[in-house]
Amino acid sequence: MYADWASVREEIQRSTDHESVLTLSFPTSVGKEVAGSVVHYLAFMVGKNNDDNEPSSLTTDTAVKWTMQVLCHGLTLPMTDYETVRECVNIYCEWLMCLTSPKKCVPIPILEDPNSYSQDILKHLSNIFVPRRDQDQLSRQAMLCHRVLKTVQHSATTSEIITDQTWDCLLRFLLVINDVLLSPPAEKDSIGSQLCERVLSVLFEIWILACCRCFPSPPLWKTLKEMCSGWRHHEALVMQWHRVNVAFTLRLLKVIYGNSARGLQLSEDEEKLIPEGISNECIIQCWFRFLHILGNPVELSRPSVIANTPKFLHMAITSEIPIEPEEHECLKNLPNIFYRAMRSVAFVADAFLGISQRDAADVDWLMSSLSSRQGDLSAVPNTSTPPSHRRPKPPFHLPHVAKVVKDSGPRPNLSETWAGPSFAAFAPIMSNAASDNGALSPSRPTVNSLLHLLGSWLLEASLVGVRVYGSTAKAFRSRAASLHMDSDPARLQSQLDHSLTDGGRGSFDAGYEMGRAQGCGTLCRIFCSHKTGESVASIYTSRFYISLYYGLQVFSDMKTIPVVLASVISNASDLLRLDLEGVHVLLPQLLSALEDLQPRFRYKHDNVDEDLDLRHASIHLLLSAICLPLQFGNLPIRAILDDQRMDPAVTFISLKKRLADLLQKMLTSETDSVNTQMLLGGLVVCVHDQALYEEAIGDQNETTDSVQDLFGMATALVCRCLTASWKTDLNCALAAMEVLSAFARIKMKNPNALHCKRIINWICEFVSSQCSRPAPAHSKDLHSMIVMAFRCLTVWLMEHDYLMQDKECLHIVLQVVELGVSGSMSQPKASSVPRFKGDKELKPVSLRVRDAAEVLLATIIDYVGSFPPPCGPESLCTLLDEESLIKHCSKKKMADSSLPDAGLPFQYFVIDGSTIVGLLEQPLGGGDETLPTVTAIVRGAFGRHAWTMQLRHHPRSFQRDPKSESVNPVISSIEPKIPPRIQHQYFPEIVQQIPPVLADQSIPRLESTMSEYQPELSKLQSLIAAQVQFEQACIQNHAKQRKPVPKCTKPSSCQEFQSARLFLTHYGFLTLDGLKTGSMSGMMPSLVRLNSSDSNLWNDLKQLDCLSVRTADTVYLFYVKTGQSKLTDILQNVTQRCSVQGQFLEFLRSLGWPVDVEEHSGWNGSVATSWKAKGSRAKDKTYPSDTGGSLYDGGQQVLYWSDVSTEVAFVVPSPSTHLSSIESEKSCIQAAGSATSSGDNSALVKCKSLSLELEGVPTDAGPPVRPKRTGRSGASAITSDVHVMVVWLESYEDHLSFPLLDAQKACQLSKTNAVPLSSSQKNINTNQTCVVFVHPLRNGLFRIHLQAQQSRVSEAVPLVDGMVVSRRLLGHLVRQTAINIFRRRQLDSEQYQPPHVRRKMKIKDIVEKYECKLTEPEFFASLFQDTIVNKQQTVAD
């Protein structure tokens, strides 16, 4: 930078302007006497003039200059003449104030020419800073020096008359005093040690001020740089250098990026450091010059270079004890200085990257521990000024790091362990790359730009004390030469030799590992800031990989974690999920490092988890690498170093088993909840990817471990940890259940039935143990675990229905269901006496647990082994309803009618208050109409079912012979016949000899019941007697008339049946007890009739049918091209196939199958059009084939996926649907407004009917209305309030600019079918939104980024933030993660109700609204005729 300029260093050092004639020409005693007399008189006159406000007696230039010679000599006197020296300082300080506020005591010549005399005064004042031999007077000299520095700084800051020459002299003065004090080796309790920080701060502050007012000349800049290189053994120099770097770097970023620069906060001290009014050009020049003012900071790791100065050589020559210059005591602090210098360089890099400023205020204990490893540093001066309580706050700010330091407990004594620094000591200065990288500035510079600026220092620092082996060392030197800023080949070679000297821990001081760790960590953060599509120079990547190769090494005899390794791991968590060229060559070294680290991790102890962040970063690296072996197969990984001692080339597939084993070990020992969930997600990826890989290649399995082995290991591990250590951790337990559910869905050729049964047993044991916990332990979290366990059981039984063929497994599952429903088991143990249902008290653990158990029981009965149903997976219920059945009715008049205009021909009954049965007595076409026929539509909590039944006395295969009716005609005869006498006899005869037992009396005789029903029997006997008399009279009358006996004819077939009555009777619903009202108030009979004539009943039944028996959720997908941030541009991408990547379309097809919105009978993403019975598909219907996904925007098609408990619609919003939704919303608002003004509420009611808001929920339209429902039937929407979006990113950095709020509004409009949003819906809550960003990498894998607000329940698995997944896994994992997100938010919601509970509440509302209040006789009579019901309704009206 200053190669063409000459330094003024020698000129300054050899200058004699600070010497007095008394010193040069007279003996010491004469000079002392003259100075004492003159100075005392001058001091007296100055004080008197100040008091009397009189001018000085020195009026001529000659007198002033002679006096100044005396004062100059007085400043050189020893501190034994303290009074004389002090008065000299006071006089000069008074005179120096002529530059700012001159007093009358100042001589007139000085007032007339202040700049000229001030230059001479500054030269003379340098004498006061010359060290004296009398060490006992150091404090007095330090006080005088402080007085001088304060006066000089005040004059320079406030004066407005300083000329360029005076500025030049002032800067030279500061250089001189700093060189005098700081050039010699630091000694304990020396004047240089006391004034070190003060003189340096004044130097830098005044130098910065001079840059603003009179920019220093290049020779002065070069002199400053050369002199600073001789002061580098002082820690205060690096601290002041860092202080200046912080201030100028942050100001520079504001100049470059303006207000877009994030996280740039200057402290109060930093604000004062840079003067106001400084130009942008000056800031840029000062920043760059100050950044390089220390030269190469890596030289601080070489004591021989630091000690290669004249002062150190003079010390070695004159020392009484022979000592090498680099062995001086003060150089033992170089590791600390080197660390601080590299931390300052790291700050500059972090500031450009946009990473939060890191706090280093509480690292004194770290430095003391570092000193303890190097021996006693009592000789190192530590008495600096100003005192610690008056020092400015260090310019680092990172609160979460300070918290780590505060909570880390007692400081470890590192001297008792290996000589190398441990990770525990490094924790306060380690940044969490996983969290910091999420805050990288979008306008950050490229990797090449930062490395052009800092790369030579960082790359060299990363290899401090490392021996580079083999031929790589030569190549490394040649490549490094092209990067280094120094143009001198000799010096360059020397520097490289120093950086590549001793390998490992030989004679090299391990204390320098702290600075090396800073260099490695900074390099990792720079390379991890790589942007999509950015190219990095190969020379940088190669040197970086070599640095990481040595930084990842761990020696077997190390008991603690090396700080370099800790720094690399913690800052390189993004390394394997970037498109860096050749980064996979580091995979073997990274895996070896993680394997070596795992047993060294220290887990939670006394509520302090020291290695938590490092384990978190290690897991990120592991999750980034878990899909690489199967992705690249047998592709070899080239070795970084071509050396014979290195291992032969390995393949990617050979690392698969090591990755799986490491994942298992880390999961077994991990104690943190977040880390555990991340590992569980990785476990799913590992097993599922292996299963899909084997399915794709068939029997050509190249690996030793099959999916069956991984499946058995993973499931057993998860189940053991779940029952042992995760049963009290909500998030871990939920994640474990989600993982087990994911394992259940993995398709394998020959699953191990015994192992699957064992998993069912484990889950059942978990439910039993959680339910049996004491009452104080029962909480919402505990019940959420049990609910999730029941859901997991549902998935396992649906996917492995053969388990229900095992009696033992079925018994265990049903026992757990009984426990969930009733709160206890009938037979907890095989030896226990079973309790009957009537003897048990119904006391479930909680209502949520009971609901989950009911769902499991219904699934076992209805769907295990029979899913999907005949209607297809889109509907668990029958698609038949009243309208479709009437169309098939045999009566034409009824078939042509429509509902409810013609009334409801169905008779509706409610059984046990939970099931609505609609009975149609008219036969359907195509059957035998002569038989009693009833068609039943059963609506319950778990769906709608349709049955058609006929009462037959013969099987369907029976053929009636018409001739048999006329062979033996029956002839009527009125003559009485004598019945034959038959003696009834028991068969066999021996039966009469068997004595009766109690069982024979279980059925009472008819005579024993006559006493109870005597009145009814008497009435019956009277009726029988009357009928006998009537028949006898008829016979006698017929005998008198002697008419011929008529033949018996076959009666005509009965065409009218009370089939509804027959149905209710035959199935046991119609009983006397079932019609009685319960003893408790409010309990309705078990059989209730509904008023079918009410036209509103049909509307309520349709609303009930719109309540799905499964959860219905919607996932919205967006495609973002590079640089897009507007929603309109993003929606336009999916309109054309050429605008999206082919992988995106493949990803869409893996999420679900396409369904036509008009023909689909399940959930399609819109509340208004879902769950309707649709017609058949038109044969000539065609769909566009050149779209990029807009076909699935909900207008024509959506992507659909469902299982027995969940429906998911995947919608790709497009411009057409978005615009139509907005227009429909506007038109609906206008219609509602006009209707309100005209008094017509029909339009308003129509808009409200499609809204998701429930009745009774307060809105802004009026005062709150009390809802009719109470308790658990509070407001709950049909669908989840959570929005899950999947965003495909061509450029990963675009996730920072994704228009989330606009996308949320578009999703809300799509879900409500363009209904105007209510006040509660307009306030879009971003906390209820989870975004899954998918970014395709060049290696064929996909990087996942999850963005969601932290909640009480963490985000779901298997996908976790930062994971890298394969192409074959992407669709499965995204879909399952979205479903799990919905389920977790439902568990956490206080107002959520399961689908079958919502249906129960709706049925209850229908019963309360349409119940017919009939007495028992009226109820029986209504089964024969409808007049009773109609009459009852008329009375009610």
Q: Give residue-wise pLDDT tens across range 1368-1421.
A: 999 999 999 999 999 998 888 888 889 999 999 999 999 999 998 888 888 888
For the cut 70, the answer to whether the pLDDT of residue 975 exceeds it is: no
What's the whole-number mean pLDDT along residues 855-864?
94
Tell me how far apart the alpha carbons of residues 1085 and 1075 are, in angstroms, rounded to a whole number: 5
Per-range mean pLDDT, top range of 592-606, 942-956, 1043-1057: 942-956
Q: C-alpha angle with apex 459: 249 to 565, nearest 5 degrees?
A: 100
Q: 564: closest CA among 582, 581, 551, 554?
A: 551
For the cut 50, the answer to whether the pLDDT of residue 500 exceeds it is: no
CB count, 10 Å around CB of 732? 25
Q: Categorize the per-residue pLDDT at 56 as very low, low, confident or very high, splitting at 50, 70 and 90.
A: confident
- For 848, phi then psi, to 5°, come to -65, -40
Enter the tokens of residue 960: 């009636």
Q: Categorize the per-residue pLDDT at 385 as very low, low, confident or very high, splitting at 50, 70 and 90.
A: very low
CB count, 10 Å around CB of 372? 14
What's the whole-number mean pLDDT along residues 987-1001?
74
Q: C-alpha angle with apex 1174: 1171 to 1177, nearest 5 degrees?
A: 135
For the chain, percent helix, then strand, then coil, each to nearest 5? 55, 5, 40
What's the whole-number mean pLDDT along residues 694-708?
73
Q: What is the pLDDT of residue 1430?
A: 52
- Report the mean per-residue pLDDT for the chain: 80
Q: What is the pLDDT of residue 900?
A: 57
CA torsion, ordered 584, 585, 587, 593, to nearest 10 deg: -140
Tell me how far apart the alpha carbons of residues 213 and 274 are, in angstroms, rounded to a whole number: 12
Q: 736: closest CA among 749, 719, 758, 756?
A: 719
In angstroms, the first-to-last Cα distance of the chain is 101
Of the chain, the percentage scoring pLDDT greater than 70 comes to: 76
Q: Categorize the per-residue pLDDT at 57 as very low, low, confident or very high, splitting at 50, 70 and 90.
A: confident
For the cut 70, the answer to whether the pLDDT of residue 1013 exceeds it is: yes
Tell me how far apart the alpha carbons of residues 189 and 380 are, in angstroms, rounded to a whole number: 9
| Placement of tokens 């590299």 in the chain | 342
- What would the DSSP string read from start to end of 895-946? HT--TTTT---SEEEEETTTEEEEEE-SPBTTS-TTS-EEEEEEEETTEEEE
| pLDDT tens per residue, range 78-127 | 888 889 999 999 999 988 988 888 877 788 898 889 999 999 999 999 99
What's the whole-number mean pLDDT along residues 580-607?
84
- What would the DSSP string read from start to end of 501-566? SS-TTSSS-GGGHHHHHHHHHHHHHHHHTPPTT----HHHHHHHHHHHHHHT---TT--S-BHHHH
For the cut 70, the answer to whether the pLDDT of residue 424 exceeds it is: no
Q: What is the pLDDT of residue 684?
A: 96
- The pTM score is 0.83
For the cut 80, the answer to whether the pLDDT of residue 752 exceeds it is: yes
**Exposed (0-12), middle (13-18) or buried (19+): which is 51, by Cβ within 10 Å?**
exposed
Give how far Cα 234 sits from Cα of 315, 342, 513, 816, 1247, Å.
Answer: 16, 15, 19, 73, 77
SS3 assignment, position 1115? strand
Q: In what order do the strands lie in the sheet with 1087-1089?
A: 943-950, 933-940, 915-920, 907-911, 1087-1089
Buried b (16+ CB within 10 A) or exposed e, 527-556: bbbbebeeebeebbbbbbbbbbbbbbbbee
Q: Categorize the per-residue pLDDT at 441 as very low, low, confident or very high, splitting at 50, 70 and 90.
A: confident
Tell me how far apart the alpha carbons of residues 585 and 572 are, in angstroms, rounded to a whole number: 14
Tell me how far apart the alpha carbons of residues 12 and 152 are, in angstroms, rounded to a whole number: 19
| pLDDT tens per residue, range 217-252 | 999 999 999 999 999 999 999 999 999 999 999 889
Q: Categorize the per-residue pLDDT at 1100 as very low, low, confident or very high, splitting at 50, 70 and 90.
A: very high
Tell me how far apart the alpha carbons of residues 737 and 259 are, in angstroms, rounded to a whole number: 47
Q: What is the pLDDT of residue 1205?
A: 93
